[in-house]
């Protein structure tokens, strides 16, 4: 499961999860992964996208997630299907968050990605910022996709 996955996709992959509503009215799926250990997964959605994937156990329970558990990972962000979810409320904050994300994911041990261009695209319903970045250390260039549907229509 990756952050940014759609509700229907997560629900299909986790058929034993039960529907719930969070304290702020957000949609959630809650699943008991290991009843003997009390291991529970909670998936929280905003605007039909997975924004939080949390595992919990009772405070007294020690142990590791069971074999076959859910592997958490960051999205690759190299095309629209693996875009990073950007849930800021306006374009200014969204672009600042994208730069902060790139700074936290440097292209080499010492160098951050250098942004050389940005465009906005619509692929079916979602909107994406496509950031073109170059690695100063290697000269490699790549595209980073950010799902900006949360604020794109107000931009």
The beta strand positions in 35-123, using DSSP E, are: 39-46, 49-56, 84-85, 114-122
**CATH number of the domain enclosing 126:** 2.30.30
Query: What's residue 136's pLDDT?
Result: 92
Name residue, tokens 């969070």: 22
pLDDT digits (tens, 9 = 90+) for 100-152: 888 888 888 778 899 999 999 988 888 999 999 999 999 999 999 999 988 88
> Does the pLDDT at position 68 exceed 60?
yes
Query: What's residue 59's pLDDT?
Result: 57
> Does the pLDDT at position 76 exceed 80?
yes
Geometric angle at alpha carbon 144, from 129 and 28, rounded to 5°: 75
Q: How many CB atoms lie within 10 A of CB 118?
A: 15
Query: What's residue 53's pLDDT?
Result: 87
Relative to beta strand 141-147, strand 84-85 is parallel
Same domain, yes or no: 88 and 66: no
Query: What's residue 3's pLDDT?
Result: 85
Geometric angle at alpha carbon 92, from 88 and 97, rounded to 5°: 55
Same domain, yes or no: 63 and 89: no
Q: In what order do the strands lie in the sheet with 84-85?
A: 84-85, 141-147, 127-134, 114-122
Name the percent of the chain lying above pLDDT 90.
37
Same domain, yes or no: 4 and 58: yes
Average pLDDT over all residues of the chain = 84
Same domain, yes or no: 66 and 123: no
How far apart CA 8 and CA 147 sit, in angstroms, is: 17
How far apart CA 22 and CA 26 sit, in angstroms, is: 5
pTM: 0.55
> What domain range includes position 143?
80-152
Query: What's residue 45's pLDDT?
Result: 94
Query: What's residue 35's pLDDT?
Result: 80
| Domain final residue pick, 43, 73, 103 | 73
| Domain final residue pick, 39, 73, 107 | 73
| Cα within 13 Å of Cα(108), Cβ side | 11
Query: What's residue 154's pLDDT?
Result: 47
| Domain final residue pick, 73, 96, 123 | 73
> Does the pLDDT at position 65 exceed 60?
no
Same domain, yes or no: 14 and 66: yes
């Amino acid at each position: 499961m990756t952050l940014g996955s759609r509700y229907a996709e997560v629900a299909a992959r986790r058929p034993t999860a039960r529907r719930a509503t969070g304290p702020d009215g957000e949609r959630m799926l809650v699943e008991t992964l290991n009843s003997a250990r009390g291991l529970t997964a909670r998936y929280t959605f905003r605007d039909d996208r997975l924004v939080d994937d949390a595992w919990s156990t009772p405070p007294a329970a020690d142990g590791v997630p069971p074999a076959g558990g859910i592997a958490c990972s960051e999205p690759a962000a190299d095309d629209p299907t693996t875009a990073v979810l950007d849930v800021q409320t306006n374009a200014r904050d969204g672009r600042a968050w994208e730069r902060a994300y790139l700074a936290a994911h440097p292209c080499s041990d010492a160098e951050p990605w250098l942004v050389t261009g940005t465009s906005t695209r619509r692929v079916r319903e979602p909107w994406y910022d496509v950031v073109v970045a170059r690695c100063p250390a290697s000269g490699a260039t790549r595209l980073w996709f950010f799902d900006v549907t949360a604020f794109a229509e107000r931009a």
